[in-house]
Chains A and B, each alone.
Chain A
């Protein structure tokens, strides 16, 4: 198997142009700071309001749902149950991007606490809320399983009887349930000869590492408005979702109507981090609207986000064979994912994160086993880092453990084994990725090999330092298209399926467009998507937008330029070869004309529109399979002080590097790098969804702690690495996730260095550190 991606041009194309590489104030910045921006919930709405009734048992058979009391409340329009949907002839009520295993409302069985069981539709939200408390769900409890080890035992209760691929995505066409109980999908990678590798190794070291389920804590909760048009048998859906085109396709499929009859509009979103991918509440709200033939709005609370979408927990075993001089010659990684009750996108996650489970290292003999496991917990969905945050926690902690075992500096061990830019990875060529540059950047910044940390005068405080590095794929294959409309006044509208989650894509796309046409950014308007006009976009996920949409826009801009040349050639009666479009002008042998002049003079009747189309698709190569359209790489250095009497630690300093390929806007790149790092600070220090008998006990920000400003290291350095991606627009690629991956192990390694405590289960609480200190001194 080969993983070479098709290369567009072999050379690195880092270009210097007018707007590329410069900071541009966010075009939506003022509206966000002043609160003028409209999120889905802010939009004017006339219609009914829904409220969801959820399962309060982790696994059970639905015996009865009594809706009469709720229905008798004045103002209640209807109560809809899973059975109603199952019996309706207008919906096929199962959804899912990998398997169609998830009912829109529970049918027959409930599989986790929080699973939607029924919905009340009422004239007002308060009536819906009151009525929801009057719906009585009776369940016969079934044996539940919330642990991935127990879930895979022969006598474990099965969550799903069968599961066939939803067959939507090429890379998931072959996924199927494993024969092992409750394993949704098992991925396996074999490179070289693992056993021979272990035999040849001087030292073989094996350890287990774990991460808990965590939640995205996107501040804007799930909000969807669906309006069914009975006359046209069509839907309009306004929703916070990162994959409007998938929503369109999935909603069309379950209702058995063409995609063109589902209009999906996505306003600005207040954060998502992967939670708003594929379908969340859209099929449900669409079904409710279809049931009552009126617009329905569902606005969930933040604790309902905790109820229904999480990051998979993991248990990982890593076994590494290494020579005395620090060459890693064999590695086995077994990752068991706690994917919750429904597969959602977990099969892709275990596959993609499984592929890079060995970290950023070029190891000749590798075996990866990666299993997505069903448990009676909320479904694991996409989350920034897409599984690599969990696998890297294991492997990057493990590398330090191995280095200690052979008495080598852990950074030295990394440098000796890191996959080279343009080298090989998992036995095949990998192309340009920037991992060594990212590692080198932090090593140089802190002078790792030349500096020794000074220990504080207080004897109970110990200082330590640690580093971690990562290599991550992006979603591949995938497609992005763009339409750029050029008006007769020279201004342009950019229409894509890319969604603004807060990451700044509107501004980045405007920058690329304005730069491409040589016009001022103030003449560019980037639309938030509406699938009735926006061409296809696989997703706004996986840090893919700048790369894919940027490329699509460059194509569209080229098309516009060709048309401008054509018009000028026709209208001025000169050869096309004597015309170029540059700096916002159509430059010809007979003079320079503004773009608007050329457009306006070509059309009559007061205007005209030029349409430029572009698309970018990472299609499968003719002979080779490939893993990633580009590679995300980054590194983190962390310096900690540990109070050895309490186990509490502070991060005194951190350095985060990430390869942007080319920073379209360095300030926004820094924002992504720091944002990813701070989010991961939460995974490191505090975040853990705590379950007792399948019930979440900390599903609010009172007890589920995310980092506060006081937790962010005061001394912080961000390094933008620009390795120049051969396929990226101006050499750019995604940068949103690398440091979500590297921060936890860098801090864990620093704590180990400081005080001897090796915590192998996230989060690293002071309690665990203190235990580790006591164990280390025993």
Chain B
């Protein structure tokens, strides 16, 4: 590992100041960035470790029909939270499929989302739940929908000197969702493809599908579902949405699967997820 300066601030304000002064990048759990530093893919001169902010910013709160999660909350804390398990079971389930318990014990939700890796498990689920990211910076605080927050390949809406402060997820007992993670190489692996499907319980409601690992962001929304399901939902029409998913995705071939395979799996897991949330067709999971 090449040497760099390491700062341990105790507040967001201090962290932001340090980031500015030293052109430093922030880390929280460090599970992603440390690997990049070790491999010398990322060679920082200074790092701001947010670990000490955990004292004030690791929390899961219920408020105004939302659940607010502090940026420094570890994935494991969220996964095992009674509140999350009760009100957002799809989030708890999704997190349980990320990496291993040891990783989830240190990885934080803020760090996870700020990393914006196209293979992240959580963003398609948070997109389906219409989650908001609260951002703090020198200019003050602002909020952004997760779908607009993640903007491209490892790119977010975060400006220089800004940090994620918390995540707010609306709670609705009328919204049903599922996340299916397809792993090609090992049970402890990134997804080959992951599909989140969500649907409201109201009559005539149209499901939404978000897919990771097959585009430049972890939130690829399948467009055109409304047209296909305009006269109702059938198993054949679900297959058509699967085809749509295969067509719309733009995967990169790698050891987890060729372009051919990932396109096929985007379609297959779209079908599987839709069968589950709509209750139409035989379950394939």
Say yes or no for A460: interface residue by CB 8 A criterion. yes
> Interface readout for B252-274 with A: 1 if CB under 8 Å, 0 if not?
00111110110011001000000
- The one of B187, B256, B257 in contact with A708, judged by C-beta atoms closer than 8 angstroms, is B187
- The one of B182, B185, B254, B257 in contact with A685, judged by C-beta atoms closer than 8 angstroms, is B185
Q: Are B255 and A698 in contact, CB atoms less than 8 angstroms apart? A: yes
Nearest residue, chain B, Cβ from A686? B185
Q: Are B188 and A648 in contact, CB atoms less than 8 angstroms apart? A: no
Sorting the interface of chain B by its residue count into under 10, 10 to 19, 20 to 34 or 35 or more gives 20 to 34
Say yes or no for B39: interface residue by CB 8 A criterion. yes
Complex Cα–Cα for A421 and B207 (A): 64
Q: Are B184 and A766 in contact, CB atoms less than 8 angstroms apart? A: yes
B21 to chain A, nearest CB (A): 22
Task: Count contacts on A: residues with CB < 8 A to the other chain.
Answer: 31
Complex Cα–Cα for A702 and B33 (A): 12
Say yes or no for A291: interface residue by CB 8 A criterion. no
Complex Cα–Cα for A345 and B244 (A): 53
Complex Cα–Cα for A706 and B1 (A): 24
Q: Are A708 and B264 in contact, CB atoms less than 8 angstroms apart? A: no
Which one of A126-134, A259-267, A432-440, A728-736 is at the B interface? A126-134
A643 to chain B, nearest CB (A): 8
Nearest residue, chain B, Cβ from A133? B2
| Residues on the A chain within 8 Å of B1, using CB | 126, 129
| Residues on the B chain within 8 Å of A126, using CB | 1-3
Known: A126-B2, A703-B255. Contact between A648 and B184, CB under 8 A?
Answer: yes
| Residues on the A chain within 8 Å of B184, using CB | 648, 686, 765-767
Q: Are B188 and A710 in contact, CB atoms less than 8 angstroms apart? A: yes
- Give the number of residue pairs across the A-B interface with Cβ within 8 Å: 73
Interface residues of chain B: helix, strand, loop or mixed (majority): loop
A713 to chain B, nearest CB (A): 12
| Residues on the A chain within 8 Å of B187, using CB | 708-711
Q: Are B186 and A767 in contact, CB atoms less than 8 angstroms apart? A: no
Complex Cα–Cα for A368 and B35 (A): 45
| Residues on the B chain within 8 Å of A706, using CB | 186
A25 to chain B, nearest CB (A): 26
> Interface readout for A432-460 with B: 1 if CB under 8 Å, 0 if not?
00000000000000000000000000101
Say yes or no for B38: interface residue by CB 8 A criterion. yes
Q: Are A708 and B188 in contact, CB atoms less than 8 angstroms apart? A: yes
Q: Are A770 and B261 in contact, CB atoms less than 8 angstroms apart? A: yes
| Residues on the B chain within 8 Å of A648, using CB | 182, 184
A760-777 interface with B by 8 A CB criterion: 765-767, 770
Say yes or no for A528: interface residue by CB 8 A criterion. no
| Residues on the B chain within 8 Å of A594, using CB | none
Most chain A CB neighbours (cut-off 10 Å) among B100, B184, B255, B264:
B255
Q: Are A460 and B186 in contact, CB atoms less than 8 angstroms apart? A: no
Complex Cα–Cα for A645 and B2 (A): 46
A646-704 interface with B by 8 A CB criterion: 646-648, 685-686, 688, 690, 698, 700, 702-703
> Interface readout for A232-252 with B: 1 if CB under 8 Å, 0 if not?
000000000000000000000
| Residues on the B chain within 8 Å of A709, using CB | 187-188
Q: Are A766 and B261 in contact, CB atoms less than 8 angstroms apart? A: yes
10 smallest A-B Cβ distances: which pairs? A710-B187, A708-B188, A686-B185, A767-B261, A705-B185, A126-B3, A705-B186, A767-B257, A708-B186, A766-B184
- Point out residues on A near B: beta carbons under 8 Å: 126, 129-130, 133, 301, 303, 458, 460, 645-648, 685-686, 688, 690, 698, 700, 702-703, 705-711, 765-767, 770
